[in-house]
Amino acid sequence: SNDEIDFSKGVFMEEGNKLVPFKSQLTTPLYVYSKKRLLTNFLNYKKSFQREITHKFGIDTNISYSIKANFNPSILKLFHQNGCWASLVNKNELLLAQKIGIKGENLIFNGNGKKLIEIELAIKNKCFLNIDSWFNLNDTIKIAKKLRQNESLKSCFPVRLLLRINQNENANVHQYLNTSGDECKFGIRDDQIDELINIIKANDFVQLSGFHSHLGSTIKTLDIYNECVKNLIQLINSTIEKHNIETIELINFGGGLGINYEKFASRTSMSSKPEIEFPTPSDLAKVIAAHVTKLKNLNVKIVVEPGRSLVGDSCILLTKLLGLKKNGNKNFLVVDSSMCECIRPCLYSAYHHIEYLEPLSSTNELFDIVGPVCESGDFLGKDRLLQIPKNLNDNHVYLAIMDVGAYCSSMALNYNIHTKPAEVFIEEIHDTNEKITKNEYFLTRNPESLEDVMACFTEF
């Protein structure tokens, strides 16, 4: 049909790397991922931590992908094949990680509201359990007591616990993305640590295996992060000494590294904005490395659990232009994707760069790029300088919403009975000399159908 995707110039995802023309039975909106970018991002993290911490100080490091950023199993599989751990927040993420084949010992179960059944599953799978509160510890001890009666579960004990410390810092990010300080529901504050450790010590079937802190998300500079690493290490040293704890196994410094969503905007000739340097995984590793030697016990693993910075820039949302309209002085480009596929602009006033796939030869004007959802919050971009499309008759004017790999597909909505889009991976196929021969597309998620959405309703 006329809705099938057909453009001739190719998707741009990586700078200087235009991808082959793309014709498909699939329709827009469509998430298009670069498999190469995903792998590069992961290996960059892994190698940076090995170089800055493991090789310099002999301290084991692991990257633990925060599944919440994007739960596409193909992503998880790719990371897992390269030695990635996973950080989870509930039973479903645990079951997914298990299905991919990640061992329980390489899973960190976070979350401020765990159900008893989730704690049970985490114990049975030998995950690290991140203790977020007094009641979370209490529930864990209750379940552990019950399960240890079972002879066949003997190897699951002692249960390995981490304490999530809520440091009194502010990540200096959007209020919804800050996860530390008194205003936040996460973790335990300094004044509760002793009580929780005493409870852990009184029960030999659980053990304090380490500490966790996660400052917040979309972090643009590492100064506060640096403070937090320093403070956490100090706190760990003093706590270990005070409680006579001989050894801990792991410290998890959380995720949170931002990505430069505005990089494409600042690179255009029209932009007056200087390009901001964002901290890289290597910078992050260096910040941690600067403090780890102060640890009293060096026989510990260092873990970070990034989400966005592993997957954010790996994906574009392809969308088709439906039409052009004007209300007063305001120009709108109406496209076929919406807040349902990319809710971040509406929720956090987030910027996602938007460009035409094929440049149009015409003059520029300011546009709001909006979707078809019945809400004024349904916008993808505001006041963007874009070319005025001339010929809409061919029904094949496409735009790309950039950097939608994190928290877009995983936060997609069925509002207005929008069906969730298909997802494709673009993979470079190499010939025997390792020269790129071609790019191939493969489907990694089928488009959702009306039947899929309605499947659980009893009268459909």
- Asked if 69 interacts with ligand LLP (CB under 6 A), we say yes
Binder of ligand LLP out of 114, 214, 384, 420 (CB under 6 A):
214
- Asked if 110 interacts with ligand LLP (CB under 6 A), we say yes
- Least separation in angstroms between residue 88's CB and ligand LLP is 10
The structure tokens listed for 401 are 């919403």
Which of 5/304 has CB closer to ligand LLP?
Answer: 304
Total binding residues toward ligand LLP, as defined by CB under 6 A? 22
By CB under 6 A, which span of 155-163, 248-256, 324-332, 373-381 interacts with ligand LLP? Answer: 248-256
Rounded to 10 degrees, what is the CA torsion of 231, 258, 128, 76? -160
- State the maximum Cα–Cα separation within the chain, in Å, rounded to a whole number: 75
The structure tokens listed for 227 are 């403070």
Cα 350 to Cα 217: distance, rounded to the nearest angstrom? 12
CA distances, 390 to each of 61, 322, 355 (Å)? 54, 13, 16
Residues 289-308 close enough to bind ligand LLP by CB under 6 A: 305-308
The conformational region for residue 30 under phi > 0 = left, psi -120 to 50 = alpha, else beta, is: beta
Q: What is the DSSP letter of 182?
A: T
H or E stretch covering 354:
strand 354-356
Residues 168-197 close enough to bind ligand LLP by CB under 6 A: 177, 179
- Residue 258: closest CA among 222, 232, 226: 222
Binder of ligand LLP out of 70, 309, 337, 338 (CB under 6 A):
309
By CB under 6 A, which span of 252-260, 317-325, 387-395, 427-435 interacts with ligand LLP? Answer: 252-260
Written as one letter, the residue type at 404 is V
Which of 279/307 has CB closer to ligand LLP?
Answer: 307
Q: Is 342 a known active-site residue?
A: no
The structure tokens listed for 349 are 């006033």
- Asked if 255 interacts with ligand LLP (CB under 6 A), we say yes
Catalytic hit among 127, 374, 408, 456: 374
- Residue 311: closest CA among 380, 447, 410: 410
Written as one letter, the residue type at 346 is C
Q: How many CB atoms lie within 10 A of CB 442?
A: 10
- Least separation in angstroms between residue 322's CB and ligand LLP is 26
- Least separation in angstroms between residue 177's CB and ligand LLP is 6
By CB under 6 A, which span of 203-211, 214-222, 264-272, 443-451 interacts with ligand LLP? Answer: 214-222
Residue whose structure tokens are 């919406």: 338
Q: Where are the alpha helices (DSSP H) in 299-338?
A: 308-311
The structure tokens listed for 419 are 């069906």
- Least separation in angstroms between residue 218's CB and ligand LLP is 6
Which of 310/424 has CB closer to ligand LLP?
Answer: 310
- Asked if 256 interacts with ligand LLP (CB under 6 A), we say yes
Beta-strand relationship, 315-327 and 330-335: antiparallel
- Least separation in angstroms between residue 36's CB and ligand LLP is 21
Which of 367/407 has CB closer to ligand LLP?
Answer: 407
- Asked if 418 interacts with ligand LLP (CB under 6 A), we say no
- Residue 409: closest CA among 350, 360, 337, 349: 337
CB 253 within 8 A of CB 288: yes
- Least separation in angstroms between residue 407's CB and ligand LLP is 3
Which of 218/239 has CB closer to ligand LLP?
Answer: 218
- Least separation in angstroms between residue 34's CB and ligand LLP is 18
**Residue positions annotated with a catalytic role:** 374
Q: By CB under 6 A, name the binding residues for ligand LLP.
A: 66, 69, 87, 110, 177, 179, 214, 217-218, 254-257, 305-309, 344, 348, 406-407
